């Protein structure tokens, strides 16, 4: 607890509060743009943190950007019915219906307050379990890390998207991209085709910007008839009294239930927020049976999934911070952001730089409050952002995508690689290949390989190390189960089908 307090002491300096405020505002601005989810938002905004010398300030800004991007995403889902990431799809179903019926304010408010409640509760949970999990993780061996990375990748591949084989092919592409460059253990070059530019490998920012920003824009262009503007459903009425007494009464239980879905699913390697948001949506729908309000804008259908979405983020931070294993695309780009500032998450992080960890956790609380205070009153501004004419919006996204990659790499070749990945992303979108496994493959592949080879080295080349250590065996068996589950008929297949059908933009989390 005292560690958390000292974390707050760090965060609550005027400069850091300013960073949090900037992060939340910029994050919302970018997140509200249709088609841009949190992972792409963070990737595009990475350069603005480069001038910060202090990693604490940068991490605080990332926390703000992340929360802002999430909130921006739910705003777009509700007002425009274009979820920017798969985790917002559930929100858009009821949220857009509420907005159409003139209840946009109530939907936005229950989303924001629900996110705040869920974010706060789950950050408390993260605070409580982070240290125990980290000390547990110190007993993990290389083979366990290998198995964990396999499990995380397989879960995302098998549970997200509409076809396991397409997911596995996406994963192969990601693993291949992750292999390009110099081998970390022996220094030998792989898949560099004799070029110097590929020696450093293909960065995660290049992949994310290519797949999500370039790919998405090409996809929009190919569909033709880009609408000049899309009129969002405007919230009407004053800021006060957004939620009636009845709205509060109907919202608070879904908020708590959503949190209960979100945090554990986020903490487990199950692909982040997508599954818990849909479970929450389905559960609230099930509870409301007979009232006939679902499908016509039931506030529970917004309150639950939004809470689950936000709670899942704090959950995702558990494996990310304590084990250094990202379990969603957004976590992967956060990990890349940490690494730029020479912060390597994992059990040692809690030993080596506890001040940093606790400052980050404290900044989650601050980012959460900041979001509520800054963003609800600024909703009019975000609606204006949605009215930017589409051709200009996408032209701007392409400029910022190019700028983002160039600012990170200072290399024209890297930008061209991002474009090429964008073309691949366009075809993946068209032919139903999920994008998240690519990201996970790029970031987890090298980690997995390193741990695999290290485990072999430690065992003196004896491959039975992967079948004799109980934890390793359990994790690997779970990975096999995750691959089989989608073939079982019933609820998983149904929810997957719906998700795949309803999903409109980059599935990005």
In the range 471-500, which residues lie near another protein by CB under 8 A? 494, 497-498, 500
Task: Supply the minimum distance, in Å, between the C-beta of residue 67 and another protein.
Answer: 22
Helix (H, G, I), strand (E, B) or coil at 102: coil
Site for another protein in 369-388 (CB under 8 A): none
Question: For residues 113 and 158, which CB has a smaller minimum distance to another protein in the complex?
Answer: 158
Question: For residues 242 and 426, which CB has a smaller minimum distance to another protein in the complex?
Answer: 426
Q: Which helix (H) or strand (E) holds 428?
A: helix 412-430
Tell me: does residue 157 bind another protein (CB under 8 A).
Answer: no
Question: Could you say which of 214, 343, 370, 447 contacts another protein (CB under 8 A)?
Answer: 214
Task: Supply the minimum distance, in Å, between the C-beta of residue 322 and another protein.
Answer: 26
Tell me: does residue 341 bind another protein (CB under 8 A).
Answer: no
Helix (H, G, I), strand (E, B) or coil at 189: strand
- Which listed range, 58-66, 150-158, 223-231, 479-487, lies at the site for another protein (CB under 8 A)? 223-231
Tell me: does residue 239 bind another protein (CB under 8 A).
Answer: no
Residue 333 Cα distances to 168, 328, 349, angstroms: 21, 9, 18
Task: Supply the minimum distance, in Å, between the C-beta of residue 372 and another protein.
Answer: 28
C-alpha 87, offset from chain centre: 9
Reading the block at residue 349, the tokens are 């992080």
* CA gap 273, 67 in Å, rounded: 14
Task: Supply the minimum distance, in Å, between the C-beta of residue 272 and another protein.
Answer: 16
Reading the block at residue 407, the tokens are 């600012």
Site for another protein in 396-415 (CB under 8 A): 396, 398-400, 402-403, 406-407, 410, 412, 415
x/- track of binding to another protein for residues 164-183 (CB under 8 A): -xx-xx--xx-xx--x---x
* CA gap 463, 201 in Å, rounded: 28
In the chain, % helix, strand, coil (3-state, to 5) comes to 75, 0, 25
Site for another protein in 263-302 (CB under 8 A): 285, 294-296
Q: Total number of residues binding another protein (CB under 8 A)?
A: 97
- Which listed range, 66-74, 150-158, 219-227, 339-347, lies at the site for another protein (CB under 8 A)? 219-227
* CA gap 271, 260 in Å, rounded: 16
* CA gap 313, 509 in Å, rounded: 10
* CA gap 441, 177 in Å, rounded: 8
Tell me: does residue 352 bind another protein (CB under 8 A).
Answer: no
Task: Supply the minimum distance, in Å, between the C-beta of residue 217 and another protein.
Answer: 7
Site for another protein in 15-34 (CB under 8 A): 34
Tell me: does residue 163 bind another protein (CB under 8 A).
Answer: yes
Question: Could you say which of 196, 223, 245, 464 contacts another protein (CB under 8 A)?
Answer: 223
C-alpha dihedral, 100 to 105 to 107 to 109, nearest 10°: 170
Q: What backbone phi and psi angles, to 5 degrees, belong to 161?
A: 100, 180
Site for another protein in 437-476 (CB under 8 A): 445, 449, 452-453, 456-457, 461, 463
Contact 167, 487 (CB under 8 A): no
């Amino acid at each position: 607890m005292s560690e958390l307090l000292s974390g707050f002491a760090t965060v609550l300096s005027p400069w850091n509060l300013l960073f949090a405020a900037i992060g939340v505002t910029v994050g919302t601005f970018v997140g509200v743009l249709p088609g841009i989810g949190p992972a792409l938002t963070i990737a595009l905004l990475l350069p603005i943190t480069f001038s910060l010398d202090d990693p604490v300030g940068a991490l605080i800004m990332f926390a703000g950007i992340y929360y802002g991007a999430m909130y921006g995403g739910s705003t777009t889902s509700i007002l425009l019915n274009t979820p920017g990431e798969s985790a917002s799809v559930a929100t858009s179903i009821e949220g857009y219906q509420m907005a159409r019926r003139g209840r946009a304010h109530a939907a936005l408010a229950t989303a924001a307050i629900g996110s705040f409640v869920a974010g706060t509760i789950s950050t408390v949970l993260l605070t409580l379990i982070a240290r125990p999990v980290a000390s547990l993780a110190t007993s993990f061996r290389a083979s366990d890390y290998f198995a964990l990375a396999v499990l995380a990748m397989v879960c995302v591949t098998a549970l997200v998207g509409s076809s396991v084989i397409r997911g596995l092919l996406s994963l192969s592409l990601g693993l291949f991209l992750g292999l390009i460059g110099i081998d970390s253990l022996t220094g030998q070059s792989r898949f560099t085709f004799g070029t110097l530019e590929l020696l450093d490998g293909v960065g995660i920012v290049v992949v994310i910007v290519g797949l999500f920003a370039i790919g998405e824009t090409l996809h929009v262009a190919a569909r033709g008839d880009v609408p000049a503007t899309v009129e969002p459903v405007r919230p009407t009425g004053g800021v006060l009294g957004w939620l009636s007494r009845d709205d509060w009464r109907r919202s608070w239980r879904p908020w708590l239930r959503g949190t209960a879905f979100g945090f554990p699913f986020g903490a487990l390697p199950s692909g982040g927020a997508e599954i818990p948001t849909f479970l929450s949506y389905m559960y609230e729908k099930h509870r409301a049976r007979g009232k006939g309000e679902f499908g016509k804008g039931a506030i529970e259908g917004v309150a639950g999934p939004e809470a689950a979405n936000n709670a899942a983020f704090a959950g995702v931070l558990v494996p990310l911070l304590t084990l250094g294993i990202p379990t969603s695309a957004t976590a992967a780009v956060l990990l890349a952001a940490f690494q730029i500032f020479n912060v390597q998450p994992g059990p040692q992080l809690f030993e080596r730089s506890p001040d940093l960890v606790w400052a980050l956790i404290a900044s989650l609380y601050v980012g959460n409050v900041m979001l509520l205070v800054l963003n609800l009153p600024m909703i009019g501004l975000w609606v204006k952002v949605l009215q930017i004419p589409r051709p200009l919006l996408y032209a701007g996204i392409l400029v910022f995508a190019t700028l983002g990659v160039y600012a990170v790499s200072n290399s024209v070749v890297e930008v061209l690689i991002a474009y090429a990945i964008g073309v691949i992303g366009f075809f993946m979108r068209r032919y139903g290949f999920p994008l998240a496994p690519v990201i996970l493959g790029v970031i987890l592949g090298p980690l997995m390989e390193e741990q695999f080879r290290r485990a072999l080295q430690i065992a003196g080349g004896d491959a039975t190390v992967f079948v004799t250590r109980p934890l390793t065996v359990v994790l690997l068996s779970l990975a096999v189960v995750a691959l089989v589950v989608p073939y079982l008929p019933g609820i998983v297949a149904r929810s997957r089908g719906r998700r795949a059908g309803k999903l409109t933009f980059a599935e990005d989390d």
